[in-house]
Every structure is written in C-alpha cells, then in structure tokens.
Amino acid sequence: MVNGILGKKLGMTQVFTEDGVRIPITVLQAGPCVVVQRKSKTADGYEAAQLGLVQDRRVRRATKPQLGHFKKSGVAPARFLREVPLAEGDGDTKPGDAVNVTLFKPKDKVHVVGLSKGRGFAGVMKRHHFRGGGASHGSMFHRAPGSIGASAFPSRVLKGTRAAGRMGNARVTVRNLEVVRVNAEENLLWVKGSIPGPNGGYLIIRKAAS
C-alpha cells in the first residue's frame, strides 16, 4: 500500500480549539495522484511507486520519451513526479492506481518534504547568524566574516567553514507534523505547523512510522 502522496502548499491559517487554544495550520492540496510506475526489488533493486500529481493544467510540451513513459502505464502526462517507498512484498500497487487524501486521517503524523525558499547569495550574518561587529562609525568591522584560518598551519581553509554563499532552495524535511483535518471532496489536508517553501510549492507528504 502506498503510504505517501504528492501535493502543493496553499498557505497558512489558524484554528481555535474548544478551550480557546490557537493552532497554526498549513493547508495543503494533497493529490489526487496516480501511480505512473511500479519499482520492484527484482527489476530495480528496491520497492517503490512513482506517483504523478494530477492537476487542472495539462502538460502541453511533453517530450517523446516522457510521452512513452506515461503511455506505458496508460495515464496522462503529469508535471510533478516523485517516488515514495513501499514495503517489501507489496504486490497490490500497480500502474494506473489512484492515490488520494483519504490515505490520511486526523491525528496522523506525517513527514513533509519541500524545497525551501531561495534567498540568493547571502552573507554570513544572514546565512549563518554571525553576530557581526559594532555598528558605530569607528568600528571598521561590520558584516565581514572575520578569520577563516591560520596562515602557517594548516595554510588552507578547512572544509565546512561557514562562509557566504547560496542560501535556501534546498530540500527540507519537516517531521512528525499532526494532521488536523482532512477534506476528501476538495483534496485538502490541514497540518499543524509550518511547511518549507512558497505558496504553490510542490511537496511530498509521507505517513510517519507509528
């Protein structure tokens, strides 16, 4: 049985419990998805299902190899494809199967994988939370990184030294988020907490191991 689904982040809101506690909520469009390919241990070395997110906009410019890949399983081309692992011996899952949000129920724990917002080339104060120097006129040391190593030994910059560089636009997994509400009619999943990435960003939502 498939224990994950693809989706999109729609935005954040809040709900209140009966005793007045405010809960931050991220609303996700979870599915509907279709199984495009079934990976097996005998043929591929591992058990997984490749899912495609079914969306309103159809794919106009699919390449011939892509069209052949989708035609083999008898499904329409999808923009967003990802694999989710399957348990060994799960022979029920086959290409063409539908996967929808009814996979989840309130109180379930899920892991959500997304792509964080890209921040471009960032300095050490923004990227690594360096304190920086004094802001006064006579400081002459404001936002620079400072020393990056000794001269005599080791005479090089050690790997992993925190420095300025590209920030964000990286795969981020948020674990053990609680499902608050499931709307099967509109394929919506209400999850407690925040999710990486912008509104409209693609996500992989997997059930946490109980």
pLDDT at 33 over 80: yes
pLDDT at 86 over 90: no
d(CA 109, CA 164): 36
Cα distances (Å, whole numbers) of residue 10 to 36, 104, 137, 179, 204: 25, 18, 45, 15, 14
Q: What is the mean pLDDT of residues 49-55?
A: 89
Q: What is the mean pLDDT of residues 56-79?
A: 85
In a 10 Å sphere around its CB, with 0-12 CB exposed, 13-18 middle and 19+ buried, how is residue 29 labelled?
buried
Q: Is 50 helix (H, G, I), strand (E, B) or coil?
A: strand
Q: Which tops the pLDDT comparison, 41 or 190?
A: 190
- Per-residue model confidence as pLDDT tens digits over 110-166: 999 999 999 999 999 999 999 999 999 999 999 999 999 999 998 999 999 999 999
- Mean pLDDT (the chain, rounded): 90
Phi/psi at 207 (5° precision) = -70, 135
Q: What is the pTM of this model?
A: 0.84
* Nearest of 111, 82, 100 to residue 210 by alpha carbon: 111
